[in-house]
Amino acid sequence: MARLFGTDGVRGRANADLTPELAMAVAVAAARTLAESDRSHPPRAIVGRDPRASGEMLEAAVVAGLASAGANVVRVGVLPTPGVAYLVGEAKADLGVMLSASHNPMPDNGIKLFAAGGHKLPDEVEHKIEAAVAAGATWTRPTGSGIGRVHDLLDGAEHYVQHLVSTVPHRLDGLKVVVDCANGAASDVAPLAYAEAGAEVIAIHAEPDGLNINDGCGSTHLEPIKAAVLEHGAHLGIAHDGDADRCLAVTAGGAEVDGDEIMAILALAMRDSGALTADTLVATVMSNLGLRLAMSREGIRLVETKVGDRYVLEELRAAALALGGEQSGHIVMPAYATTGDGILTGLHLMSRMAATGRSLADLASAVTKLPQVLVNVPVGDRAAGASAAPVLAATAEAEAELGETGRVLLRPSGTEPLVRVMVEAATVETARSVAERIAARVREASPV
């Protein structure tokens, strides 16, 4: 059976790939899987969504599926993904369901599931849910009092904002920030949280209509927030994606600050306060070599994982570490959140600015990023394209040539017929030359 779950839940075009029938089947399978593992009480589920129009339809299907399988459901409405995860833990629920396709365009939607405590589902539970969906509706439905009940939680956003603000080590008074809410789930709570923490807030793209989420705005389209920061003379800009689990930033001068630079700023802040467990930061192999060099200079160890925030989360939990993330802006602080939280990240980034009196540009200068070139090579066979002898030989030759001044990362895409060739070097010309040389060997090894 093909995998139903990707690295971040179930995702596809709403009402085409991701139908109400599939959403209901996943909800039923999740509730039944949880009921089988703990028969002491009916499962309790928290259900939230981003503002996509299709979320209304899918929410109805998920809620019906959960209740039909005997789960009691609490709807929290439009809320960021990390807000749903937080409420799962706070309410001691057995399951969380978030309907969102994150930074994807509006026609897409997705189903993200959280286990008790607000953590991502273990692989073995995902496999059981997939098997139950594949088996179809061969189960005995509860009737009468066995059917789940459905309630609405009207102040879930308020609880989440209070939690976020309570984590801030230094108030944000005196800072002016532009926040791009991507017309998504952050549209109400992000401006409120930043203002409650003391910042002067100018919100843009905070008027979701169900159709405009991520449309030319948010963390995947930074030009509007760059212009707004300059127009308003703000100290910085914060850009979220559709479900607000990521955060990118813009300096007062309009320069981009990515997840690597944000991680460095937070790592140094936490190191100075004694909160950076084992003086260790977790990042993926896609993080710029400049981050590793910067952390090494500061005496901070960098642990690398495979690409995907679930692998960062696994490492953080396994080693009980305090900070990790991705270049894309998924930053995880386990002391305060069980998943990437863009608003939490923005608060702590600004807190460091307020505490030190330093500009974002100055703080971000801790990392000198090496030029990075990424070539996506279409292939007939991903494994062959990435592991053929001529490809490996070309990669080894390039690594020897670059030495400590650069690196090569070669990996097959997990979702597309591509091999990704990423090269970092002292100059963009060198990086491009080396990347194209390896890419040519990949094309020869596995033509389309």
Write the DSSP string, 95-125.
EEEEE--TTS-TTEEEEEEEEGGGPBPPHHH
User: What is the rounded CA–CA span in Å between residue 9 and residue 337?
Assistant: 18
Q: Is 102 a known ligand-binding residue? A: yes
User: What is the rounded CA–CA span in Å between residue 398 and residue 380?
Assistant: 24
> What residue spans define the domains of the chain?
10-154, 159-364, 372-445
User: What is the rounded CA–CA span in Å between residue 353 and residue 345?
Assistant: 13
> What is the amino acid identity at position 380?
G
Asked: is 159-364 a CATH 3.30.70.100 domain? The reply is no
**Domains 10-154 and 372-445 belong to one CATH topology:** no
CATH class of the 372-445 domain in this structure: alpha beta
Q: Is 108 a known ligand-binding residue? A: no
User: What is the rounded CA–CA span in Å between residue 180 and residue 218?
Assistant: 5
Nearest to 101 by CA among 16, 184, 2: 184
The two tokens of residue 176 are 């002016």
Nearest to 98 by CA among 48, 157, 171, 34: 48
* pLDDT tens digits, 15-35: 999 999 999 999 999 999 887
- For Cα atoms 334, 86, 154, give the angle at the middle one, nearest 5 degrees: 160
User: What is the rounded CA–CA span in Å between residue 423 and residue 285?
Assistant: 12
- Residues 6+ positions from 314 with CB-CB distance below 8 Å: 305
Digit-by-digit pLDDT tens for the chain (448 residues) are: 457 887 678 899 999 999 999 999 999 999 998 877 766 788 999 999 999 999 999 999 999 999 999 999 999 999 999 999 999 999 999 999 999 999 999 999 999 999 999 998 888 888 899 888 988 767 789 999 999 999 999 999 999 999 999 999 999 999 999 999 999 999 999 999 999 999 999 999 999 999 999 999 999 999 999 999 999 999 999 999 999 999 999 999 999 999 999 999 999 999 999 999 999 999 999 899 999 999 999 999 999 999 888 899 999 999 999 999 999 999 999 999 999 999 999 999 999 999 999 999 999 999 999 999 999 999 999 888 999 999 999 999 999 999 988 999 998 886 678 999 999 999 999 999 999 999 999 999 999 8
Question: Of 1.10.150.120, 3.10.580.20, 3.40.120.10, 3.90.1150.10, which CATH number belongs to 10-154?
Answer: 3.40.120.10
User: What is the rounded CA–CA span in Å between residue 183 and residue 244?
Assistant: 10
55 contacts 107 by C-beta, under 8 angstroms: no
Nearest to 433 by CA among 398, 403, 392: 398
190 contacts 242 by C-beta, under 8 angstroms: no
Q: Is 50 a known ligand-binding residue? A: no
The set of catalytic residues is: 102
Q: Is 243 a known ligand-binding residue? A: yes
Question: pTM of the entire structure?
Answer: 0.92
